[in-house]
Amino acid sequence: MAISTLDGQKIWQRRDRDVQLKIWAMWLVGTAIFMWCWQQISEATTWAFFWDAPRIAADIGGRAMPPRWSYMDKLWSPLWDTLNIATLGTVMALMMAVPVAFMAARNTTPSALFVRPIALLIIVSSRSINSLIWALLLVKILGPGVFAGLIAISIRSIGFCAKLLYEAIEEIDESQVEAITATGASRWQVMAYGIVPQIMPAFAGIAVFRWDINLRESTVLGLVGAGGIGLQLQGSLNTLAWPQVSLILLVILLAVVVSEWVSAKVRGAII
Amino acid sequence: MLRLDKLTKVYKTGDKALNAVDLEVPKGQVLALIGPSGAGKSTLIRCINRLVEPTSGTVQLGDVELTGLGLGGLRKERRRMGMIFQEYALVERLTVMENVLSGRLGYVGFWRSFLRKFPQSDVDEAFRLLDRVGLVEMADKRADELSGGQRQRVGICRALIQNPSVLLVDEPTASLDPKTSRQIMRLIVELCEERKLAAIVNIHDVALAQMFVSRIVGLKLGTMVFDGAPADLTEEVLTRIYGDEDWSETIQKVDDDDEVDAA
């Protein structure tokens, strides 16, 4: 804090002069970098395509309208697959995430020296790779289809769920745990009575949130052959069947809106 | 009944919380432990049921030496020590009944407790205790719906359903208003009399302690500096425990208080 004396009067300012100058300098450098990047991108852009873009977009938009409603018959089954990938993937991920979370949380880990780093490694490696990339890999390993998508979604979700869950475990009120321990309860009873009730709202919130995300992610998995509605999207894009593309996009939009609504309802009911 | 012998606790930080405390509590005696914050009151009662591991010294409950026990043996003995907490420490998202029954966890196997299939005798006892503290119609409410005084009553039931021989009570009234504080203290003392329980009660409120217990122990920086009857708690003693202050208003004539109480 900057307190100085001027004519015997104490002056208070938020920052003193040195700090203020440093902040100005940082803004200056930041702005310069931004302008330079802008210029680089501008030079690398073929402006003819850019100016052409609205016309092309309007053209595609025109061809895509109206959506080909009759194509819907062929979409029900992949849509069902997509829903299954998201739901089963989330359930499988949660089953694996719960033990990982307990091993990763500082207050419940069996060993902070050996087990916790392994649990954290599982979390980081699962989170660092996008589900589309997992799907690419798994399609090669397991062959194309719904199963590869299911595994991709669940592997990707383990880290996310475990991370949020272990943070919730670390934030519990320890006095409740202490009270249960003091009754002579066993380790597992302490978990079931002292810890689980405290993390239930977080668990439910994480589960529906991740399900919601997984529904969106599973719509694109078909692009790499891992089943679901994305397969139809890719097929339609490749054959330039724009009315089908617009219908698929519309269906995906609706599915996402419905999932938003469901997860909001579930979260509201629990918390 | 309960005997501490040269009980010492040194924390990892090097703070000596307890310094060779010797204490003997006979059956049926309610003892108040007073002292300034940081004197080691909480550490002392947590060293008894080993929520905090004592550094040296022994604790004996009946003829069992608690300090030498392994994990399984300790769990068994913890059932004989009911604990009551400052902020109630109820499991907030469980019902009153579940909280009371959690006092039986040491007697019931994991799956039975997980599925909430407690023996009928435990449920009967839970209802009896809830009735005793006047909360029987609250049995199905969630613990976080209760007021402070009600929660502490549930905490008392949870401790008593263990069928303990000693109660460890950590600041039972610190989060309660003065009237509720008295009611809770009275309830604890009455229940100890009914069941011939020994109890160690940590308490900040010296006047409240004098009002209800028969023996007071003063702790200062981990060392026992006073052990006597409430009537012996003079200004000089309070200065020894807490430091210099005008104590004349704190020390209450016990009979005065009874009158106030009766009114």
For A133-142, write each residue's pLDDT tens digit: 888 888 888 8
If asked whether residues A102 and A210 sit together in one domain, one would say yes
- Helix, strand, coil percentages for chain A (3-state, nearest 5): 80, 5, 15
Q: What is the pLDDT of residue B253?
A: 53
β-partners of residue B95 are B142
pLDDT reading at A95 higher than 90: yes
B117 touches chain A (CB under 8 A): no
> Averaged over B150-171, what is the pLDDT?
92
> Averaged over A119-129, what is the pLDDT?
89
Domain assignment present for B196: no
| pLDDT tens by residue, B130-140 | 998 989 998 99
Domain assignment present for A55: no
Q: What is the pLDDT of residue A98?
A: 93
Domain assignment present for B131: no
Closest chain B CA to residue A175: B89
pLDDT reading at B166 higher than 90: yes
pLDDT reading at B257 higher than 50: no
Helix (H) or strand (E) run with residue B114 in it: helix B110-114
Q: What is the pLDDT of residue A271?
A: 64
Domain assignment present for A50: no
Nearest-Cα distance to chain A for B126, in Å, is 15
If asked whether residues A5 and A101 sit together in one domain, one would say no
pLDDT reading at B17 higher than 50: yes
How would you classify the pairing of strands B215-220 and B64-65? Answer: unpaired
Spell out the residues 6+ positions from residue A154 whose beta carbon is closer than 8 angstroms to its own.
Answer: A88, A89, A90, A92, A93, A96
| Among candidate residues B204, B200, B212, B199, the one with its CA nearest the CA of residue B174 | B204
Q: Are B92 and B144 in contact (CB under 8 A)?
A: yes
Q: Are A126 and A156 in contact (CB under 8 A)?
A: yes
Q: What is the pLDDT of residue B69?
A: 87
How would you classify the pairing of strands B56-61 and B2-10? Answer: antiparallel
| Triad A255, A257, A261: Cα angle to 5° | 115
Domain assignment present for A64: no
Q: How far apart are CA A176 and CA A192, in angstroms?
A: 12
Question: How many other β-carbons are positioned within 10 Å of the β-carbon of residue A36?
Answer: 10
Domain assignment present for A68: no
Domain of A221?
A: 74-270
Domain assignment present for B101: no
| Among candidate residues B152, B261, B255, B239, the one with its CA nearest the CA of residue B201 | B152
If asked whether residues A26 and A105 sit together in one domain, one would say no
DSSP state of B95: B
Q: Are B184 and B172 in contact (CB under 8 A)?
A: yes
Helix (H) or strand (E) run with residue A142 in it: helix A131-142
B43 touches chain A (CB under 8 A): no
Of the pLDDT bands very low, low, confident and very high (cuts 50, 70, 90), residue A238 is confident
Q: Are B46 and A150 in contact (CB under 8 A)?
A: no
| Triad A233, A236, A239: Cα angle to 5° | 150
Distances (CA, A) of B3 to A67, B63, B65, B101: 85, 10, 9, 29
If asked whether residues A5 and A97 sit together in one domain, one would say no
If asked whether residues A112 and A7 sit together in one domain, one would say no
If asked whether residues A213 and A120 sit together in one domain, one would say yes
If asked whether residues A84 and A211 sit together in one domain, one would say yes
Q: What is the pLDDT of residue A81?
A: 84
The number of distinct structural domains making up chain A is 2
Domain assignment present for B51: yes
Among B91, B96, B152, B200, the strongest candidate for a mutation testing the A interface, having the largest count of A CBs within 10 A, is B91
How many CA within 13 A on the CB side of residue A21?
3
Check CB contact under 8 Å for B91 and A182: no
Domain assignment present for B86: no
Nearest-Cα distance to chain A for B241, in Å, is 28
> Averaged over B217-243, what is the pLDDT?
87
Is-cis flag, bond preceding A66, omega within 30? yes
Could you give phi then psi for residue A98, rounded to 5 degrees?
A: -60, -55
| pLDDT tens by residue, B30-53 | 999 998 888 888 999 999 989 999
CATH code of the domain containing B5: 3.40.50.300
Q: Which of A179, A200, A201 sits opposite B89 (nearest CB)?
A: A179
Domain assignment present for B3: yes
End-to-end CA distance of chain A: give it in Å, rounded: 42
The number of distinct structural domains making up chain B is 1
Closest chain A CA to residue B87: A175
Q: Are A221 and A140 in contact (CB under 8 A)?
A: no
| Among candidate residues B96, B119, B106, B40, the one with its CA nearest the CA of residue B73 | B106
| Among candidate residues A81, A84, A85, A98, the one with its CA nearest the CA of residue A206 | A98
Domain assignment present for A49: no
pLDDT reading at A48 higher than 70: yes
Q: How far apart are CA A200 and CA A116, in angstroms?
A: 22
Q: How far apart are CA B169 and CA B155, in angstroms?
A: 10
CATH code of the domain containing A136: 1.10.3720.10
Q: How far apart are CA B116 and CA B200, in angstroms?
A: 31
If asked whether residues A244 and A198 sit together in one domain, one would say yes
Check CB contact under 8 Å for A198 and B91: yes
If asked whether residues A95 and A6 sit together in one domain, one would say no
Domain assignment present for A81: yes
Of the pLDDT bands very low, low, confident and very high (cuts 50, 70, 90), residue B252 is low
Query: pTM for the full model?
Result: 0.79
If asked whether residues A124 and A222 sit together in one domain, one would say yes
Q: What is the pLDDT of residue B256?
A: 45
Question: How many other β-carbons are positioned within 10 Å of the β-carbon of residue A127?
Answer: 15
Closest chain A CA to residue B82: A183
Closest chain B CA to residue A190: B105
> In the predicted model, what is the mean pLDDT of chain A?
87
| pLDDT tens by residue, A149-165 | 888 889 889 999 999 99
pLDDT reading at B259 higher than 70: no
Domain assignment present for B256: yes
Nearest-Cα distance to chain B for A90, in Å, is 25
Domain assignment present for B119: no
Of the pLDDT bands very low, low, confident and very high (cuts 50, 70, 90), residue B222 is confident
If asked whether residues A13 and A128 sit together in one domain, one would say no
Give CA A75 to chain center in angstroms: 26
Domain assignment present for A174: yes
Rounded to two decimals, the ipTM of the complex is 0.88
Domain of B73?
A: 1-77+211-263
If asked whether residues A263 and A224 sit together in one domain, one would say yes
Domain assignment present for A58: no
